[in-house]
């Protein structure tokens, strides 16, 4: 069996959506125990390198005459989700889907490993390095009132590295004032933990 060849590419800078980069996605409706990200990029973004990797991968696996119209690709049109509440702004975006079973390497904008204390969250601006890989699977579709099995071809993107370009997600906001509640003495500035010589 011939060794599979992967086709590498680097994305333009985009906005991280539903990232699971520090731990695999193990909870919820779409949990698949994988590290993953959906990268939102403008429709004017340069995706030539990404599209070339996907096409080269498909040609290598399925031949130069593969069915381009029906190939399942990891670059989606955000307009397909724009009719759902909260996703209206996706209409002007492409969505690049990438995932992996192993933790991707994370870097800062200078190319240095990202400290473990820094978490990439929803809304942060990032770039990703991926490897395109082909797949074939069987799906059930309805034809003439009957469910039949059809074979579909596609390309997936394995997520290898993520570079944090801009940190836009800062965690939760604080509380509004609660009338009549406990108010600390301004003079009492003692810390709840001893921070002398610590990591804080």
Domains in the chain, CATH or no CATH each: 7-166 (2.40.50.140)
What share of the chain in percent tops pLDDT 70?
Answer: 83
pLDDT 10s digits, 148-186 = 888 899 999 999 999 999 998 764 344 455 555 444 444
pLDDT at 1 over 90: no
Q: What is the DSSP string of 117-172?
A: T----TT-EEEEEEEEEEEEEEEEEEETTEEEEEEEEEEEEEEEEEEEEE------
Model confidence at 80: pLDDT above 80? yes
The Cα 60–Cα 2 span in angstroms is 12
Residue indicated by tokens 């301004």: 186
Collapse the DSSP code of 135 into the 3-class scheme (helix H, G, I; strand E, B; otherwise coil) and give the result: strand
The 10 Å Cβ neighbour count of residue 115 is 9
Whole-structure pTM value: 0.79
Task: Using pLDDT thresholds of 50, 70 and 90, give the confidence band for residue 38.
Answer: very high
Q: What's the chain's average pLDDT?
A: 84
């Amino acid at each position: 069996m011939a060794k599979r060849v992967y086709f590498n590419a680097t994305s333009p800078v985009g906005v991280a959506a539903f990232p699971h980069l520090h731990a695999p996605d193990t909870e919820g409706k779409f949990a698949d125990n994988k590290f993953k990200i959906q990268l939102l990029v403008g429709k004017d973004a340069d995706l030539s390198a990404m599209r070339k990797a996907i096409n080269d991968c498909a040609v290598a696996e399925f031949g130069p005459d593969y069915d381009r119209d029906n190939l399942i690709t990891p670059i989606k049109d955000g307009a397909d989700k724009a009719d759902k509440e909260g996703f209206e702004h996706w209409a002007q975006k492409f969505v690049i889907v990438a995932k992996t079973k192993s933790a991707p390497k994370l870097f800062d904008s200078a190319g240095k490993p990202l400290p473990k204390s820094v978490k990439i969250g929803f809304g942060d601006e990032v770039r990703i390095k991926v490897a395109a890989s082909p797949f074939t699977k069987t799906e059930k579709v309805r034809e003439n009132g009957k469910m039949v099995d059809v074979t579909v071809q596609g390309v997936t993107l394995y997520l290898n590295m993520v570079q944090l370009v801009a940190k836009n997600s800062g965690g939760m906001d604080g509380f509004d004032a609660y009338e009549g509640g406990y108010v600390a003495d301004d003079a009492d500035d003692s810390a709840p933990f001893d921070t002398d010589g610590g990591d804080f």
